[in-house]
Amino acid sequence: MAIHRNPTRAVRIGSLTIGAGHPIAVQSMTATRTVDVEATASQVADLASAGADIVRIAVDSERDAEALAEIRRRTSANLSVDLQENYRIAARVAPLVDKIRYNPGHLYHHERGKPWQEKVRFLAEVAGEHDCAIRVGVNCGSIDPEKKDAFSPDDSVGPMVASALEHCAWLDRIGFDRYCVSLKDSDPERVIEANRRFAERRPDVPLHLGVTEAGMPPEGIIKTRIAFEQLIGRGIGDTVRVSLTLPNSRKSEEIAAARQILDDIAAGRVRTVVDLAQGGLNIISCPSCSRVENEAFVELAQQVRSMTEYASEYDITIAVMGCRVNGPGETDDADLGLWCGPAYVNLKRGPETLGQYAYDTILAKLKEELDRLIRERTAEPLSGR
């Protein structure tokens, strides 16, 4: 299958280069706690062995940064660091990695009186000094509030694209061009639209593709395949990740799934017509990562899928998120949302928090709310439940 890829510029990330016609790179992220050096170094090795071109590690604290130094000593893999609110920690970790990923929507949390432009300038200077690339990672559930307020509440794609374009323009202005961009959503249709719009405006910028919170296999793989086929088929995309909710021991399945999708696209084994409006129950769940505070989250996501099978015909979205960093914001758009803490699960209906429940009682409470929602939408009781 002949694909004419967008003429993006080359961006070097450690030992590999993305863009400019180079092979599409595959990446994943560690799910172990970063401070657990043995477990994280082992998972980096497993992912690299499975064919990961880049492995991302989250760093949220000084202890994580100290652990990263030891992990770096144990691997030659291309490493990316994922920053959250404390953007200044980049100075500690940049010498240890090949790429820095920051989320424009998280920059406003830290040093709120400082313009985001100054923070990005700092990141660019640190990256330049230590031979790092940058990924501007825009996520649907964590858009900068000012950017979100500038668009209609029912337009989730517009703020994402505008934020990415704004940050690219600023990086260009300050003379840093070694960057790529990602625009991710849990809905493959919105992923396609956001990346298509961005690529029309900035065909020169390499794009990292992914469906965030795609969920568990096989559904998560199917959602991701839909987005990748439509985008890569249009020549859009230079590096990819399949984000799946999996136990730590199975994280390498993300790499296998990505390679299979890319192989199928290259061979022309794709859907010629994709129905994105499939309807029915939609369960989204984030990929297990080092920010998960209770590993029972993965099992809970699987239990939610099994328990809700009886509601498969209803157009309802249930989100299961594994941490307090992205969980509160990224469950807002779901009909029912769960975000998991160390001992309790927070249950939401849209943006409204309904309460905190223990892991062994949350399923019953979720079923109550799901049944209530179905009754409201159908205006009739559930029979035989």
Residue 273 scores a pLDDT above 60:
no
Q: How far apart are CA 306 and CA 96, in angstroms?
A: 42
Distance CA 78, CA 99 (A): 8
What pLDDT score was predicted for residue 35? 96
Q: Kindly tell me if the per-residue pLDDT of 277 is higher than 70.
A: no
- pTM of the entire structure? 0.86
Pairing, β 179-184 against β 207-209: parallel
pLDDT over 80 at 203, yes or no: yes
Please enumerate in sequence order all residues whose Cβ is within 8 A of that of 255, keeping only pairs 6 or more positions apart, or say none. Answer: 26, 28, 47, 50, 51, 52, 242
Cβ atoms within 10 Å of 1's Cβ, excluding its own = 11
Element (H, E) at 133: strand 133-139
Q: Measured between alpha carbons, how far is residue 104 from residues 115, 141, 175, 281 in Å?
A: 12, 12, 18, 31
What integer is the mean pLDDT of 168-192?
Answer: 97
Top-tier CATH class for 11-267? alpha beta
Q: Which helix (H) or strand (E) holds 12?
A: strand 11-13
Instruction: Report how far residue 156's alpha carbon sits from residue 333's, in angstroms, rounded to the nearest whole number.
Output: 10
Q: What is the pLDDT of residue 65?
A: 96
Tokens of residue 310, six digits: 């009886």
Choice between 286 and 243, residue whose per-residue pLDDT is larger: 243
Specify the fold of 282-378: Sulfite Reductase Hemoprotein; domain 1 (3.30.413)
For 133, phi then psi, to 5°, come to -85, 170
Proportion of the chain above pLDDT 90, given as a percent: 75
pLDDT, residue 80, reads 98
| Domain positions in the chain | 11-267, 282-378
Return the structure tokens found at 160: 């994402």
